[in-house]
Structure 1
Amino acid sequence: MHLDYSDHVFVDLVPEQFGPSETIVARYRGLVATAFRYRSGVAGLRISNAKGEIVMLPFQGQQIWDATFLGRSLTMRSMFDEPVATRDYLSNYGAFFIHCGATAMGNPGPDDRHPLHGDLPNAPYQDVQLIAGGNSEGPFMALTGRCRQTLAFSHDYVMEPTVRLQLDASSLAVDIVIENLKRSAIELMYLAHINFKPADGGRLVDTVADDSADIVVRQTLPPFFTPSESYLAYRDAVVADPSRHRLLTKGEPIDPELVLTM
């Protein structure tokens, strides 16, 4: 569903606005947007309110690279201190939020060669805009842009995401529109990939029952993962008791990741 921003202010963003020194792009009723460039050359856009801030990569995947609210960073720890200019998924895996898909997603199988998690994670964006305005929740700032993915005889589509931060919020609203420009239908797969920093002693809460009929643990790992004995023991414990995955125990490494189908 397209959002109605007809009465709001749009600020066009271009790569030349993003230099080594952080500069203010816009201020609006307590919200501030600033532009800068990482040492790696990747452009960053910081949008802040009284409760925190997000840092986005406006021209590379429109990723939310980092999010900090109420004095706590919400982003997982990773091997990457800053984003890397690349299209390869694992060469820039450190963001808080990543768009994945759209014609394929997940690990490529033996009969396909799609990129890991698809074309969207580090895709280049054009027509990037900062939006300032108000809605029923009050003033906000948002980032949007257009990314066209075209592969002859395969697919042709446009991705238009929007990430919105309200003035008094410590959470975000994310909307996407994917438009198929090809005459024939395309298969659509999309993943909103969120990487939270765990809280020691935390507990995951959802509406799925804790049984093997509703929670299936991935048993076959991709070839680039070499699991440790401790990981295999942890995985087997979750297979035996699916509720085990809910506990975030300090000092218990989960490497590689534990994947559940719920």
Structure 2
Amino acid sequence: MINLAPEQFGMQPDEVFRNADFVVTAFTCEEAGQVLTLANRRGTLTVLPYRGLTIWDAEFDGYSLKSGRRSARAGKGKPVGGVAFHSPWLQQDSLLAGMQRIGLQVEGDTLALYGSGELSHPRCRVRPALRLTADSAQFAIEMQITNLADEPLPLNYVCHLNYGCIPDAVFRQNLPAPALAPHGNVAEQEMLCSDDLSLYVDQAEFFMLASKGRRYVTRFSTAQFNYGLRPITQQGSQRLFRFVQPATCSPYMPDGAAVKMLGGGKMREFRVTTGVV
């Protein structure tokens, strides 16, 4: 394990790790603060390590996944644009302030970035992780949560995958049509929500097929994430669907409906794999 310290993030890029498969660079920029880049031969994850391992950008095969266009960068390697992806944790303000330890580890052909911290509201320990495999354009976003309180902790989490909205994209998944049937009038909604996916498959797999042969995939266990959310974006006169976001609950659950809870002293893990096929 290579432990990283805040003082390693200077204004000039500092290569903190390199081998035949990966290069990891640390720096600080005005726009995003402390930044790590995890690079393999296919591309780069730009990560905000002390902000819950939030992924600022994910660029593979010459495309930024968050924009769907050729990626653009400001001078000296500074990332631009909004956050791309982050772990399944809705209370981001607490999480952003909670990372106290950051470390790198190479496990075979996989580079892992770990974070660890404790939050006071709610009282819990969070351990996010990112994994990038050599020669792969797919990566894993993970979160381990331990409830340090005596009272149960609600598990209302969404893994926010901020893929670019690609016109004319084709969506495929390993699920029957009833699992994805919308609730109510689609024209009045800003987000589509699936049925409980654990009723259909153990492992959900969603594809977004774009132009020029580009294909994106998101995979997750339906025991961890029961639902798939698909935000709707208005572009001119068109309403376009975004790529799936795994969730532990439906935004359309009636008041008083049962919510997943994590008992006192208990631990749960979440994992989403996403990227370019």
**Bin for the TM-score computed over the shorter chain:** 0.5 to 0.7
Give the match for residue 9 of structure 2. Answer: 18
| Residue in structure 2 matching 1:156, options 118, 123, 133 | 123
User: Is 1:45 aligned with 2:36?
Assistant: yes
**SS of the residue aligned with 2:173?**
coil
Taking a change above 3 Å as real, the CA distance of residues 213 and 50 of structure 1, as seen in their structure-2 partners, is closer
User: Is 1:177 aligned with 2:144?
Assistant: yes
Give the match for residue 146 of structure 1. Answer: 116
1:187-206 matches, cutoff 5 A: 187-206=154-173
1:112-123 matches, cutoff 5 A: 119-120=94-95, 122-123=96-97
Give the match for residue 220 of structure 2. Answer: none
Count of aligned residue pairs for this structure pair: 200
Taking a change above 3 Å as real, the CA distance of residues 118 and 187 of structure 1, as seen in their structure-2 partners, is farther
CA contact (8 A) 1:161 1:177 kept: yes
In terms of fraction of residues, the more strand-rich structure is 2
The Cα offsets for residues 138-164 of structure 1, whole Å up to 9 and x where unpaired, read as x1212111121113xxx3101101100
Taking a change above 3 Å as real, the CA distance of residues 40 and 69 of structure 1, as seen in their structure-2 partners, is closer
**SS of the residue aligned with 1:16?**
helix
Gaps of at least 5 residues in structure 2 are 75-80, 193-229, 253-277
Instruction: Give, in whole Å, the separation in 1 of the partners of 2:6 and 2:237.
Output: 42
Q: In the alignment, residue 19 of structure 2 is paired with which amino acid?
A: Y
Instruction: Give, in whole Å, the separation in 1 of the partners of 2:231 and 2:124.
Output: 38
Instruction: Give, in whole Å, the separation in 2 of the partners of 1:211 and 1:181.
Output: 39
Report % sequence identity: 25
Gaps of at least 5 residues in structure 1 are 1-9, 83-92, 106-114, 220-232, 240-244
Give the match for residue 87 of structure 2. Answer: 99
Give the match for residue 62 of structure 1. Answer: 53
CA contact (8 A) 1:149 1:156 kept: yes
Taking a change above 3 Å as real, the CA distance of residues 63 and 252 of structure 1, as seen in their structure-2 partners, is farther
CA contact (8 A) 1:61 1:125 kept: yes
CA contact (8 A) 2:15 2:24 kept: yes
**SS of the residue aligned with 1:168?**
coil
Q: In the alignment, residue 21 of structure 1 is paired with which amino acid?
A: Q
Instruction: Give, in whole Å, the separation in 1 of the partners of 2:105 and 2:57.
Output: 19
Q: In the alignment, residue 96 of structure 1 is paired with which amino acid?
A: A
Instruction: Please report the RMSD computed on the Cα atoms of aligned residues, expressed in angstroms.
Output: 3.9
Instruction: Give, in whole Å, the separation in 1 of the partners of 2:153 and 2:235.
Output: 44
CA contact (8 A) 1:146 1:158 kept: yes
CA contact (8 A) 1:33 1:46 kept: yes
